[in-house]
Chains A and B, each alone.
Chain A
């Protein structure tokens, strides 16, 4: 079955440093979504990528979808303490979404 892996599992950064999390699928995806979950909270939708090679930006966040539509990345420039949380990718191969293992980000002030 379809598997979705994220690396790294944990990342501690100093405030102001950059952060990147990678999402890899064993199968070709139709689209991929990214969610953020604050500690004790629920996942909140960030963005959806559909096209091969697509790049989208939201302020300090940059999302990429790989050319082969099997991987994706989320890059945060100049992290802030408000970026703390776990970032999940959710990959869709057919009609359902499989969530990745998540990357837990801690930002040290």
Chain B
């Protein structure tokens, strides 16, 4: 069974630039999550999709972050404009029931 795929794996940008991350969940998983993990902390949920609908985005900084999940499969997370404090690993996870399967993450460095 193929796991959750994410790209790119690493990204370095300057502050005020924009960046996009892509996630392909495990086939058949209806629920997709985007997490932000700052070094030394636990993952923080940014947004949760059920198929292509948003279940929770209460911790998504909507003035600069956006996410979509077209056709209920792949998802993209965008940051525009980026700030220094956005430097983190962005993890995508998917689930069929409750067990979450995480992708390898995208490490973002904002300089």
Residues of A participating in the B interface, judged by any CB pair closer than 8 Å:
31, 33, 35, 41-45, 48, 88, 90, 92, 95-102
CA separation between A4 and B43, bound complex, in Å? Answer: 12
Residues of B participating in the A interface, judged by any CB pair closer than 8 Å:
35, 41-45, 48, 55-56, 91, 93, 98-105
**Does A88 contact B104, Cβ atoms closer than 8 Å?**
no
**Does B98 contact A31, Cβ atoms closer than 8 Å?**
yes
Q: Tell me the total A-B contact number using a CB cutoff of 8 A.
A: 46
Residues of A within 8 A of B43 (CB): 43, 88, 99
Name the CB-closest residue of A to B35.
Answer: A99
Name the CB-closest residue of B to A101.
Answer: B42
**Does B99 contact A48, Cβ atoms closer than 8 Å?**
yes
Partner of A42, one of B41, B48, B91: B91
